[in-house]
């Protein structure tokens, strides 16, 4: 039996949640009605947040992995004192409302992460928990634990069916991230019908096999039982999944059926719901005792927790001055590169792959920037990318090198979680072709404006022998067509170092940098300023250019070679290096016209990859619009026509036409 006030609060959440969805004529009442007691218990008894200090560093993090339950999250945040007035709840899913269809980070106060694509929330939360464990190990002192918070997740059946969740949970169990607590709304129903139509695994056995602590709550309406399980979870030395048996659409005439998952209740059904739950409130209102209870148990309690923390911080500041100053730099994102001493240099004329450059420069950056944390997906010797300070683990939580294993999708989401936590900069690396496995998480980073860093090696068909499965062709087009992300494909060591340095200063977008497997000559014409503008003139002929090449990456040297040959025949051709299309697009019209003058209409683009993104800049494109073929590297340029002879002849055609 629940306390009277708990029941009153839960009913209020259920009724207003259903009203929001019915009014919007769209939304997901099933989870809102079923899981209301779970979030009620978590928020009123456990979670520490402070709506007066939204970014309080040591707050607990809550991620609604089942993003379709947004109405319930907005309600909880409203009652937690965040700036979401009741009229915005009534405006659910409407144009320009504070309450969009799925939770959006940066749009609605209190929302910790954009969710909706199932599985992303759980995986990103693993990154949040890694960040907490790392920072706690780095800064906490005996009796002065200034970093000490939990990461809570609410997920549904669908979240746990997604592969990304299993990848991420496997790593979380391995790392013994015991501050991570997943509340599983286990209602045996999903969109299409019964879960048993698609799954017959035992979640209990699965998570236990992944080194998780498993707890079960038989009655998802029982606040005390849920409360007790969360208490137990907090004591565990492993991450915990609490399976909470609920009834989807509880209280509605369609409860227990899959139709209530995503179908708003009709006005009649809403009336029946209110009757079933004994609710007498007017639409979008709550009794004073309900709002008072939420206020005292969430707002006041959270406020107090934050004050206690501030007191602890003042003690910390007195006793550990240096650490305190460093922690402040972390918290306020004030860790910057002050000097370039020791930055690896690569002499002009030497030959080095840009992946080797990436590894060396990144190692140097990690030595300068203590908040860089990340690693590779079991490809460190290939990508050359690793974090500093040893491997992050339960015994070495100050390590900043994460061994992600072959778990690319989770790796990208975990990287987002590390960055999202607020003081660390997450990065990760893999083969460029397998960015396909990471795209959904990278897309979320872009939507959230998170400055996560995604580094890739093996940027083109020049991978060679591994063949079409390992030869990227269309991946650059994928990222270049994505909004709110920076993409670099540098031409040599200098351009690569520039791209890496530039990425460190990016605050509000993810960055993708791709490197070559093969050695590339360090050119005399490449430079930092040029890369910072996205494109620049890498070769200018001695006479006024009447035509131009636009290119990037390993093809820059080839284009310059052809341009020089043409110059010797008095055909004057400019070569534009364009390592970043998006940065170039953000330049002034004046700059763009200076580099790619409108008067020069004879243009050819050259890149070992899908041609489609280049037609914006050139009428003729020499690209690769077919899958690769397995063969040694030395045969590849010829096989795809990336030779001086072919490009020269094609360019002559462009000039003549």
Ligand X SMILES: Cc1ncc(C[n+]2csc(CCOP(=O)(O)OP(=O)(O)O)c2C)c(N)n1
As a 3-state breakdown, the chain gives helix, strand, coil percent values, each rounded to 5, of 45, 15, 40
Choice between 154 and 576, CB closer to Mg ion: 154
Degrees, nearest 5: CA angle 340-341-346? 80
- Residue 636 CA to residue 643 CA, distance in Å, equals 10
Choice between 174 and 245, CB closer to Mg ion: 245
Site residues, ligand X (CB under 6 A):
28, 30-31, 66, 68, 116-118, 156-159, 187, 189-191, 248, 261
Choice between 187 and 580, CB closer to Mg ion: 187
- From the list ligand X, Mg ion, none, which binds 121 (C-beta under 5 to 8 Å, kind-based)? none
- From the list Mg ion, ligand X, none, which binds 118 (C-beta under 5 to 8 Å, kind-based)? ligand X
- Residue 389 CA to residue 397 CA, distance in Å, equals 10
- Give least dist CB 173 to ligand X, A: 21
- From the list ligand X, Mg ion, none, which binds 573 (C-beta under 5 to 8 Å, kind-based)? none
- From the list ligand X, Mg ion, none, which binds 445 (C-beta under 5 to 8 Å, kind-based)? none
- From the list Mg ion, ligand X, none, which binds 261 (C-beta under 5 to 8 Å, kind-based)? ligand X
Give the residue at shortest CB distance from ligand X: 156
Q: Tell me: does residue 516 bind Mg ion (CB under 5 A).
A: no
CA dihedral 460, 462, 466, 470 (to 10 degrees): 0
With H, G, I as helix, E, B as strand and everything else as coil, classify residue 610.
Answer: coil
With H, G, I as helix, E, B as strand and everything else as coil, classify residue 244.
Answer: strand
- Give least dist CB 617 to ligand X, A: 35
Q: Tell me: does residue 157 bind Mg ion (CB under 5 A).
A: yes
Per the CB < 8 A criterion, the answer to whether 383 and 406 are in contact is no
- Give least dist CB 156 to Mg ion, A: 4
- Residue 524 CA to residue 527 CA, distance in Å, equals 8
- Give least dist CB 109 to ligand X, A: 23
- Give least dist CB 187 to Mg ion, A: 4
Choice between 61 and 443, CB closer to ligand X: 443
Strand ranges inside 229-376, DSSP E: 240-245, 351-353, 372-376
User: Between the CA of residue 104 and those of 67, 101, 390, what are the distances in Å?
Assistant: 9, 9, 35
Q: Tell me: does residue 104 bind Mg ion (CB under 5 A).
A: no
- Give least dist CB 262 to ligand X, A: 7
- From the list ligand X, Mg ion, none, which binds 452 (C-beta under 5 to 8 Å, kind-based)? none
- From the list Mg ion, ligand X, none, which binds 173 (C-beta under 5 to 8 Å, kind-based)? none
Q: Strand 511-514 and strand 486-488: pairing?
A: parallel
- Residue 400 CA to residue 362 CA, distance in Å, equals 13
Choice between 244 and 365, CB closer to ligand X: 244
CA torsion sign for 420, 421, 425, 431 is: negative
Per the CB < 8 A criterion, the answer to whether 560 and 497 are in contact is no
Per the CB < 8 A criterion, the answer to whether 267 and 274 are in contact is no
Choice between 68 and 400, CB closer to ligand X: 68
Q: Tell me: does residue 577 bind Mg ion (CB under 5 A).
A: no
- Give least dist CB 404 to ligand X, A: 21
Residues numbered 185 to 224 that lie near Mg ion (CB under 5 A) are 187, 189-190
Burial class (CB within 10 angstroms; exposed 0-12, middle 13-18, buried 19+) of 455: buried
Choice between 122 and 552, CB closer to Mg ion: 122
Instruction: Report the 10 Å Cβ neighbour count for 303.
Output: 18
Q: What are phi and psi of 455, to 5 degrees?
A: -110, 135
H helical segments located in 281-435: 288-294, 301-319, 321-331, 354-368, 380-383, 408-420
- From the list Mg ion, ligand X, none, which binds 68 (C-beta under 5 to 8 Å, kind-based)? ligand X
Residues designated catalytic: 408
Q: Which of 156, 430, 510, 628 binds Mg ion (CB under 5 A)?
A: 156
Which helix (H) or strand (E) segment holds residue 487: the answer is strand 486-488
Residue appearing with tokens 């965040």: 82
H helical segments located in 387-521: 408-420, 439-448, 475-480, 493-505
- Give least dist CB 28 to ligand X, A: 6
- Give least dist CB 250 to ligand X, A: 12
Choice between 189 and 358, CB closer to ligand X: 189
- Residue 25 CA to residue 93 CA, distance in Å, equals 9
Q: What are phi and psi of 55, to 5 degrees?
A: -95, 20
- Residue 106 CA to residue 600 CA, distance in Å, equals 43
- Give least dist CB 21 to ligand X, A: 12
Q: Tell me: does residue 103 bind Mg ion (CB under 5 A).
A: no
Q: Which of 80, 3, 83 is nearest to 44 (CA)?
A: 80
- What would the two tokens of residue 60 be? 């607990």
H helical segments located in 162-201: 163-174
Choice between 124 and 190, CB closer to Mg ion: 190
Q: What are phi and psi of 276, to 5 degrees?
A: -60, -35
Choice between 46 and 68, CB closer to ligand X: 68
Instruction: Report the 10 Å Cβ neighbour count for 550.
Output: 25
Q: What is the DSSP letter of 349?
A: T
Q: Which residues pair with 550 in a beta bridge?
A: 576, 605
Binding site for Mg ion (CB under 5 A): 156-157, 187, 189-190
């Amino acid at each position: 039996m629940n306390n009277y006030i708990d029941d009153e609060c839960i009913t209020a959440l259920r009724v207003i949640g259903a009203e929001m969805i019915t009014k919007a004529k769209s939304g997901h009442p099933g989870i809102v009605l079923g899981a209301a007691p779970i979030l009620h218990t978590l928020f009123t008894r456990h979670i520490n947040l402070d709506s007066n200090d939204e970014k309080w560093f040591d707050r607990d993090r809550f991620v609604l992995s089942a993003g379709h339950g947004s109405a319930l999250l907005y309600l909880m945040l409203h009652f937690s004192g965040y700036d979401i007035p009741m009229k915005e709840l009534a405006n659910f899913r409407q144009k320009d409302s504070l309450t969009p269809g799925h939770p959006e980070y940066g749009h609605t106060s209190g929302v910790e992460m954009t969710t909706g694509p199932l599985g992303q929330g759980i995986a990103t939360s693993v990154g949040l928990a890694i960040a907490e464990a790392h920072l706690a190990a780095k800064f906490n002192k005996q009796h002065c634990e200034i970093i000490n918070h939990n990461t809570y997740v609410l997920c549904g059946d669908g979240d746990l069916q997604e592969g990304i969740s299993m990848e991420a949970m496997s790593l979380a169990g391995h790392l013994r991230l015991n501050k991570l607590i997943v509340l599983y709304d286990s209602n045996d129903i999903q969109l299409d019908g019964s879960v048993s139509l698609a799954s017959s695994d035992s979640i209990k056995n699965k998570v236990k096999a992944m080194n998780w602590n498993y707890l079960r709550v038989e009655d998802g309406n029982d606040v005390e039982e849920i409360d007790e399980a969360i208490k137990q979870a907090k004591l565990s030395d492993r991450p915990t999944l609490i399976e909470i048996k609920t009834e989807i659409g509880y209280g509605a005439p369609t409860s227990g059926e899959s139709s209530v998952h995503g179908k708003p209740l009709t006005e009649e059904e809403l009336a029946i719901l209110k009757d079933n739950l004994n609710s007498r409130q007017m639409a979008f209102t709550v009794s004073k005792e309900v709002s008072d209870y939420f206020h005292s148990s969430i707002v006041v309690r959270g406020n107090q927790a934050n004050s206690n923390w501030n007191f602890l911080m003042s003690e910390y500041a007195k006793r550990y001055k240096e650490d305190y100053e460093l922690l402040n730099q972390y918290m306020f994102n004030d860790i910057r590169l002050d000097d370039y001493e020791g930055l690896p240099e690569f002499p002009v004329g030497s030959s080095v792959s840009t992946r080797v450059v990436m590894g060396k420069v990144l190692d140097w950056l990690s030595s300068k920037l203590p908040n860089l944390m990340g690693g590779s997906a079991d490809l460190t010797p290939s990508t050359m990318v690793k974090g500093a300070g040893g491997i992050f683990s339960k015994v070495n939580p100050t390590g900043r090198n994460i061994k992600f294993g072959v778990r690319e999708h989770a790796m990208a989401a975990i990287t987002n979680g590390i960055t999202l936590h607020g003081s660390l900069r997450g990065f990760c690396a893999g083969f460029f072709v397998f960015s396909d496995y990471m795209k959904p998480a990278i897309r979320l980073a872009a939507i959230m404006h998170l400055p996560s860093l995604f580094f890739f090696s093996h940027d083109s068909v020049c991978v060679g022998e591994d063949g079409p499965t390992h030869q990227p062709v269309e991946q650059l087009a994928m990222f270049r067509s994505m909004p709110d992300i920076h993409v670099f494909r540098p031409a040599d060591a200098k351009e690569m170092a520039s791209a890496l340095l530039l990425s460190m200063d990016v605050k509000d977008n993810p960055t993708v940098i791709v490197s070559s497997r093969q050695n590339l000559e360090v050119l005399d014409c490449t430079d930092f300023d040029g890369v910072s503008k996205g494109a620049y003139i890498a070769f200018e002929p001695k006479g006024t250019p009447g035509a131009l090449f636009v290119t990037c990456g390993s093809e820059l040297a080839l284009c310059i070679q052809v341009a020089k040959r043409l110059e010797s025949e008095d055909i004057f051709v400019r070569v534009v290096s364009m390592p970043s299309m998006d940065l170039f697009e953000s330049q002034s019209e004046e700059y763009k016209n200076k580099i790619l003058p409108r008067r020069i209409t004879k243009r050819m683009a050259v890149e070992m990859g899908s041609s489609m993104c280049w037609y914006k800049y050139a009428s003729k494109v020499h690209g690769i619009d077919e899958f690769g073929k397995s063969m040694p590297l030395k045969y590849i340029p010829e096989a795809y026509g990336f030779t001086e002879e072919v490009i020269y002849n094609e360019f002559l055609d462009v000039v003549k036409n």
